Structure 1
Amino acid sequence: MGKESSAVLGILAGTAIGATLGILFAPDKGSNTRQRIADEALAVKDKVAEEADHLREKVADTVSGNKEATLDQQIEAVVSNMSHKTDDVITSLEKKLSELKSKNKKYQKAK
């Protein structure tokens, strides 16, 4: 993002400087020149605002995409972890059930 925004700002600054110099060196009345400079400044301001909005949206989309990817990875890790823990609990319960069955057989034989 840094290189892209620097390039855009450089292009916009170059355009503004070139337009201003072109207007200043053009043979015209002072009032017309000032009006053209003001018009160009407004046009450049609008262009900069538009590019800033575009970059902001792009950054927001990138951040949002990264958040979603990170969230998906975290959810996957939690599900995987829970799956392993569930297997451990099931194994533990199966052992406990086996022990209880053994004890129950001993009690049944004793009677």
Structure 2
Amino acid sequence: MKTSSTILGILGAAAAGAFIGVLFAPDKGSETRKKIKDKSKDYGDNLKGKVDGILSSISSNGKDIIEEGKAKFNQVKEDFNSVKDEAKAIKTNY
């Protein structure tokens, strides 16, 4: 998650830099507001895409971990039952 925080920090800094650059541009107020609106939408769409990618990756990895955990649990369960059966067999023989 540290990488995603870094990416979000970089995107936030870039957005702030662009915002400040637009504010100091020698355009009329209406033009400046339009530029800010357009840039904000671009950065918002970009950020949404990044967040969706991160969430998709987390979801995918979580499903893989759950499936692996289930498989290991089933293997341990089988091993336990096998040992239990062997113990019964030994107990029966003695």
Question: TM-score, structure 2 length as denominator?
Answer: 0.89
CA distance in structure 1 between the partners assigned to 2:89 and 2:47 by the alignment: 62
Tell me the residue number matched to 1:29: 28
Corresponding position of 2:12:
13
RMSD value, Cα: 1.5
Report how many aligned residue pairs link the two structures: 94
| Percentage of matched positions with identical amino acids | 31
The separation in 2 between residues aligned to 1:8 and 1:58, in whole angstroms, is 15
Partner of 1:80: 79
Question: What's the offset of the Cα at 1:26?
Answer: 1.2
Unpaired segments ≥5 residues, structure 1 = 97-111
**Equivalent residue number for residue 61 of structure 1:** 60
Task: Structure 2: give runs of 5+ residues left out of the alignment.
Answer: none
Query: 2:88 & 2:19 partners in 1: Cα distance?
Result: 75
1:88 Cα deviation (Å)? 2.4
* One-letter identity of the residue aligned with 1:30: G
Distance 2:53 2:13 in 1: 19
Calculate the TM-score normalised by the size of structure 1.
0.76
d(CA) in 1 for partners of 2:39 and 2:61? 33
* Larger-Rg structure: 1
Determine helix, strand or coil for the equivalent of 2:26: coil
Residue 51 (1) aligns with residue 50 (2): yes
Alpha-carbon distance in 1 for matches of 2:46, 2:10: 11
Aligned partners of 2:74 and 2:11: how far apart in 1?
Answer: 43
